[in-house]
Structure 1
Amino acid sequence: MPTISFTGVSRDFALKTGEFHALDRVSLDIHDGEFITVVGPSGCGKSTLMNIAAGLLDATGGTVTVDGEPVHGPSPERGVIFQQYALFPWMTVRKNVEFGLRIAGVGRRERAKTAGRIIDLVGLGDFADALPKTLSGGMKQRCAIARAYAVDPKVLLMDEPFGALDALTRVQMQDSLLETWSRDRRTVMFITHDVDEAVYLANRVVVMAARPGRIHRVIPVDLPYPRTEEMRLSGEFAELRREVWNAVYHQPASSERTTP
């Protein structure tokens, strides 16, 4: 059974000019431990699809299941990480990471133990008592990832989490995320607009087409882990990048549909 299964998922939005068909019968299975990246042109519905999986939006048609159970609203089993860090500025790194555990009723000693382990896992052990305003952008995003990890979610849903970072920090965060993922192999659905990032991280790259949003291609990435700087410069990587780039930017003309 797939960990995440989209079956015929559609989503419409009401506009002043009519009804915008954002997603059109999207079907996709993401299996246990897979790292899936989703890429596509602007307006293809990448974030909408993830928000439906997160339970933040309802599908107009079709179903989404996690471990066979229909998604009806948010759940701790689905950790969600956005481009904005959304940290509590008055809380230290430790307190931010403990927050979800405290809401879940976990005792103080167990909270501290779990938070300490996860903070070390993302490389913030020396900054556990620092406030977010003293952290770099990459460190803030590591804190956000640690907070999602702390509640032990079944899957991670990540919506362009590195989009606001500079190029060097972005590469470092990609490596850090893969190092963390390689230790526990959680199921990851990662939204990005960056083709290089999509190829570097993924087991499979899902390429979406826009207006209406739908699956255009699913491209396997047959590169071994761990991924390395040398791999980024390899001919195999360049060929996969070219294949994904062409799938994203050389699609048939869209068939946007609105209902007056």
Structure 2
Amino acid sequence: MTTNTAPGAGQPAKISVQEVTKTFALGRETFTALDRVSLDIADNEFVTVVGPSGCGKSTLMNVLAGLETPTEGRALVDGAPVSGPGPERGVIFQQYALFPWLTVRKNVEFGLKTARVPRAERRERAEHFIRMVGLEQFADALPKMLSGGMRQRCAIARAYAVNPSILLMDEPFGALDALTRVKLQEQLLDTWSKEQRTVMFITHDVDEAVFLANRVIVMAARPGRIYDVIDVDLPYPRSEEFRLSPQFAALRNRVWHSVYHQDGRTAPATSPAPSVTPA
């Protein structure tokens, strides 16, 4: 069971975003995608990020992934500035990003092969994570033979296989049908409880944000900034009963109102992260 409690004294954040501003040139003008965003995320915490289109959710993830450089401010992982992509950060996109000419097994092994992991260890680790996401019967199948949900499970297995301490997930279930999406949400939480990771999960779906998270970060647009931070102080594991509970409904309504009825206020610049211990 997971609990949300106050962080220990002096406990460093796993991820720390400090006054990050990101602007882009648009012809002779500039567009501010992020405006002085600050956020701390604890080790093994599961944080979801929601907000209206154009609020900078994906830009924030790209900064943490090392794919974008802040115009001002900085992002830290384990106290070290992010200066580019790194093996401690696994990134999962909505588009699966699988190699179509490689089997499920070879896709999951790809990062390990790049890291020169010996063949026997590579195969063992790949098999472990393929079983973990329930694709053992499809290990020799090509991506074109898989459903959308199965492809995303393969992408999740590949990300886990290289043993990152952080998973950055940009709307990974956004293109899936509702039933598949619900099943993958439950499977993701089951995997998270077994394989401890810090997760930042971007979504447009308020129900998904509440179901998955220890905390929901609500962003506002133009310019992109943190608008609200909502604790989901309810235990794991979470199931269909949780989705139908009054507590879930109350949290969902609060997040929905915060996303779609924004009044111009802004949450405190620095949001403390709880100490989280997955089941």
TM-score category by the smaller chain? Answer: over 0.9
One-letter amino acid of the structure 1 residue matched with residue 242 of structure 2: M
- Map 1:93-242 to 2 at 5 A: 93-242=104-253
Question: Residue deviations 1:68-100, cap 9 Å, x none?
Answer: 011011011100000001111111100000000
Q: CA shift at 1:67, angstroms?
A: 0.4
Kindly state the Cα deviation for residue 223 of structure 1 after the two structures are TM-superposed.
1.5
Could you say what secondary structure the match of 1:33 adopts? coil
Separation (CA, whole Å) in 1 of partners of 2:260 and 2:80: 35
The equivalent of 2:69 in structure 1 is 58
Query: Which string of whole-angstrom CA distances, capped at 9 and with x for unpartnered residues, describes residues 88-116 of structure 1?
Result: 11111000000000000111111001101
Q: d(CA) in 2 for partners of 1:253 and 1:30?
A: 24
* Structure 1 residue runs of 4 or more that deviate by more than 3 Å after TM superposition: none
Q: Does 1:89 align with 2:100?
A: yes
**Structure 2 counterpart SS, 1:89:** coil
Q: Which amino acid aligns with 1:85?
A: Y
State which of 24, 29, 47 in structure 2 corresponds to 1:36. Answer: 47
Which protein has greater RCO, CA pairs closer than 8 Å, 6+ apart?
2
Post-superposition shift, 1:184? Answer: 2.0
Please state whether the residue corresponding to 1:63 is helix, strand or coil: strand
Relative to structure 2, which stretch is displaced further, 187-196 or 124-133? 124-133
User: 117-126 or 138-147, which moves further after superposition?
Assistant: 117-126
How far apart are 1:185 and its partner, in Å? Answer: 2.3
**What is the alpha-carbon distance in structure 2 between the residues aligned to residue 114 and residue 185 of structure 1?**
16
- What's the CA shift for 1:248? 0.4
SS in 2 for 1:223: coil
Q: How far did residue 40 of structure 1 move?
A: 0.4
TM-aligned CA deviation for residue 17 of structure 1: 5.0
Q: In structure 2, how many angstroms separate the alpha carbons of the residues matched to 1:66 and 1:253?
A: 30
State the 1:200 CA deviation. Answer: 0.2
Give, in whole Å, the separation in 2 of the partners of 1:200 and 1:164: 18
Aligned length: 255
Query: Any idea what the Cα deviations from partners look like across 1:115-137, whole Å, max 9, x if unmatched?
Result: 01111111111111111111110
Structure 1 gaps, min length 5: 255-260
- Shift of residue 233, structure 1, vs aligned partner: 0.7
Supply the AA of the counterpart residue of 1:209: A
> Sequence identity of aligned pairs in percent?
70
1-structure distance, mates of 2:31, 2:220? 15
The aligned counterpart of 1:257 is none
> Residue type of the partner of 1:178?
L
- Is 1:9 aligned with 2:20? yes
Deviation track 1:176-212 (CA, whole Å, cap 9, x = no partner) reads 1001001022000000000000000000000001111
For 1:225 and 1:62, locate their aligned partners in 2 and report how far apart those are by CA, in whole Å.
Answer: 35
Length-normalised TM-score, structure 2 = 0.90
CA deviations on 1:20-70 (whole Å, 9 max, x unpaired) are 011000000000000000000110000000000000011101010100011
